[in-house]
Amino acid sequence: METVDLARLQFALTAGAHFLFVALTLGLATLVAVVQTRATLTRSPIHLRMTRFWGQLYIINYAMGIVTGLVMEFQLGLSWSGLTHYAGNVFGSALAIETLVAFFIESTFLGLWIFGWNKLNRWAHLALIWIVTLTAYASAFWIMIANGFLQNPVGHVVDGDTLRLVDFGAMVANPAAQVAFGHIMGGAMITGGFFVAGVSAYHLRKRTAEQDFFRKSLRLGIGVALPATMFTVVFGGLGFETLQPSKIAAWSGTADELTEVQAQMAATHGPGDYLPSIDWVQGSGITMMTLWVVMTLVALLSCLLMAFRPVVRGFRLWHWLLTLMIPVPFVTMISGWIFREMGRQPWAVYGLLKTADAMSPVTEAQMRFSIIAFASVFSVLILINYWLLARHARRGPGAVALGDRPLDTPAVPVLSF
């Protein structure tokens, strides 16, 4: 493989792995906020315990996502200095807002939520989790603004050998970013919903003591996942209207469209190959759509079966199916990400900067060492996250350490006078 291919593979592996954490974090944060709202309004003990159980799993995934995100950012300087030099003044503004406003606020209020159990009144504590959830989506929004600029660069002018931002509003309103953000929101809800439903189905199948707890959790997961599939496909359809001509040609695969796009690009940018990999674009697109159909059918079937209480309690084949469905949204999300990013090639900034020109001046040996190091670190992090999630999910709500006393129980004072 050439050096540029190694650099692309490295970023694909690390960014894709980080994306898996993000998808589950967004979905679980919303579900936890909804459950805690119910617990706060009704003072329901079981919903309070649901908040603690699913909240602990959310915290585990969030912490590992932070680590992978920090590791991934090193690559922009190590491997893609050409991109940051050329376009960093533009898309870097969105990344700066994401870091300074969304991410820092999210982390701060999440810390307050974790350590505020039993110390804050229930309404203040509820406000914290909603701030965490909203800022998590704000963080994803600004990431998609930055990515949308790479897909469809707007709001800039060329200033020497760099780009300069002149219309921040145009960059924010970029359809390539706005539609993709809606698609990501729906995908995250599907991921969180099937995760909650799958874990709940596992405990129902094992006949654990918390049957009512997990019946309610299963209904919550499916109740979120089903409408989210409809929401996602709407934005997915809208997204096809924002695709680049080369991606559309690769998706359709017709010789006439491919030839026309190649000729137009060559006339504008000079000789070269301007078509993305047809196999990757079509393969990832078909995988994404096929799995969406599977998830929709399973969610519909589950919604019908939930109307019968004995079925919810004892239909073990259905429980097996829901447990096996846990990884399906993750595969679907990764397939959609591959479709979006591979379809942009050979451009780092579509129509302005080629991927080969966006690289740092590194040797093939340096890149091979780097990809081995990054892939090893991320593999360990993914395994640790899977082990922690599986361990705590299997142990059930009885072993939860988060908020081990009710919200309204007075805390022991730190100092006594």
Chain segment 280-320, per-residue pLDDT in tens = 999 999 999 999 999 999 999 998 888 777 766 667 888 99
| Residue 239 maps to a domain | yes
| Residue 262 maps to a domain | no
Q: What pLDDT is attached to residue 377?
A: 82
At 325 the three-state DSSP class reads coil
| Residue 293 maps to a domain | yes
174-207 confidence digits (pLDDT tens): 999 999 999 999 999 999 999 999 999 999 888 8
**Measuring CA to CA, which residue among 375, 390, 396 is closest to residue 12?**
375
| Residue 413 maps to a domain | no
| Residue 362 maps to a domain | yes
Burial label for 193, CB within 10 Å (0-12, 13-18, 19+), is buried
Q: Assign 54 a pLDDT band (cuts: 50, 70, 90).
A: very high
Q: What pLDDT is attached to residue 374?
A: 80
Asked whether the predicted pLDDT for residue 412 surpasses 50, the reply is no
**Measuring CA to CA, which residue among 137, 254, 251, 150 is closest to residue 187?**
137
DSSP summary character for residue 8: H
Q: What pLDDT is attached to residue 411?
A: 40
410: tokens are 């007075």
| Residue 409 maps to a domain | no
Total number of domains in the chain: 1
70-85 confidence digits (pLDDT tens): 777 777 777 888 998 8
| Residue 404 maps to a domain | no
| Structural domain that includes position 144 | 3-244+277-399
More confident residue, 397 or 31: 31
Per-range mean pLDDT, top range of 239-243, 284-288, 383-387: 284-288
Q: Is 167 left (phi over 0), alpha (psi -120 to 50) or beta?
A: beta
**Measuring CA to CA, which residue among 391, 41, 39, 62 is closest to residue 216?**
39
Q: What pLDDT is attached to residue 118?
A: 84
| Residue 272 maps to a domain | no
For the chain, what's the residue count? 417
